[in-house]
């Protein structure tokens, strides 16, 4: 599928065929696409929690305002990130780079992040957002529907998935075979309202 077509076709679909299953190959294809997403310093701090256990999905649904797509969609991915990934063997993020480039960026990574908790969290959440969009566009290109979700008890879901203390939880994404068309697009604001030339 053409990239622009996938961008325009992607919608937040709420109703899914609970009998449909993605193959392991399809799941790997989606996740391999998601990890092509850019991250600051190539830290790749996203952690994709793929929830396939039916009982756990029911518990997440109970913490998610009983939204049926949490159990009915073929795939449920809780988007999380390791906010301390910049400290954890950072040379591995640049193992294929020219040595002088790797040395420069690995040595810069620590001072850039050290002591700035807000920056660490912001970077993690930005990376989650980029990867989530990549995942949804990949699903669209493969002929599937998706839905990003924030309507859940984040603390409870973090507890259910045993989120480590040095990680953050972002939205979750469901992917599968939709059974109902979404509402018509409610309307995008005109570019004249959202694009600023040079300065506000």
3-state secondary structure of 28: helix
DSSP annotation of 32: H
> pTM (2 decimals)?
0.94
Q: CA-to-CA distance for 41 and 59, rounded, in angstroms?
A: 36
Please state, as a whole number, how many other Cβ atoms lie within 10 Å of the Cβ of residue 156.
Answer: 14
Residue at 41 is within a domain: yes
- Total number of domains in the chain: 1
- Give me the pLDDT at residue 172, please: 98
- CATH number assigned to the domain comprising residue 165: 3.40.109.10
Residue at 169 is within a domain: yes
* Residue 164: domain span: 3-194
- Give me the pLDDT at residue 1, please: 74
Residue at 199 is within a domain: no
Q: Using one digit for the tens of pLDDT, what is the confidence trace for 20-50?
A: 999 999 999 999 999 999 999 999 999 999 9
Indicate if the pLDDT at residue 177 is higher than 80: yes
Q: How many helices (H) and strands (E) does the chain have?
A: 8, 4
Residue at 44 is within a domain: yes
- Give me the pLDDT at residue 62, please: 98
Label residue 129 by pLDDT band (50, 70, 90). Answer: very high
Q: Extract the tokens encoding 18.
A: 């609970």
Label residue 97 by pLDDT band (50, 70, 90). Answer: very high
Residue at 95 is within a domain: yes
Residue at 200 is within a domain: no
């Amino acid at each position: 599928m053409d990239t622009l077509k996938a961008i325009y076709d992607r919608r937040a679909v709420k109703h899914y065929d609970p009998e449909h299953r993605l193959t392991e190959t399809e799941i790997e294809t989606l996740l391999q696409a998601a990890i092509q997403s850019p991250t600051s310093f190539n830290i790749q701090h996203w952690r994709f929690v793929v929830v396939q256990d039916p009982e756990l999905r029911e518990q997440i649904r109970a913490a998610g305002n009983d939204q049926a797509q949490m159990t009915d969609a073929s795939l449920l991915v809780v988007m999380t990130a390791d906010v301390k990934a910049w400290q954890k063997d950072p040379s591995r993020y640049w193992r294929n780079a020219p040595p002088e480039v790797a040395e420069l960026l690995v040595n810069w990574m620590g001072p850039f992040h050290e002591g700035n908790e807000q920056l660490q969290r912001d970077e993690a959440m930005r990376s989650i957002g980029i990867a989530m969009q990549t995942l949804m566009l990949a699903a669209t290109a493969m002929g599937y529907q998706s839905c990003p979700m924030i309507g859940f008890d984040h603390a409870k879901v973090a507890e259910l998935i045993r989120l480590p203390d040095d990680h953050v939880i972002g939205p979750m994404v469901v992917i599968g075979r939709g059974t109902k068309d979404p509402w018509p697009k409610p309307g995008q604001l005109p570019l004249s309202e959202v694009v600023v030339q040079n300065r506000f």
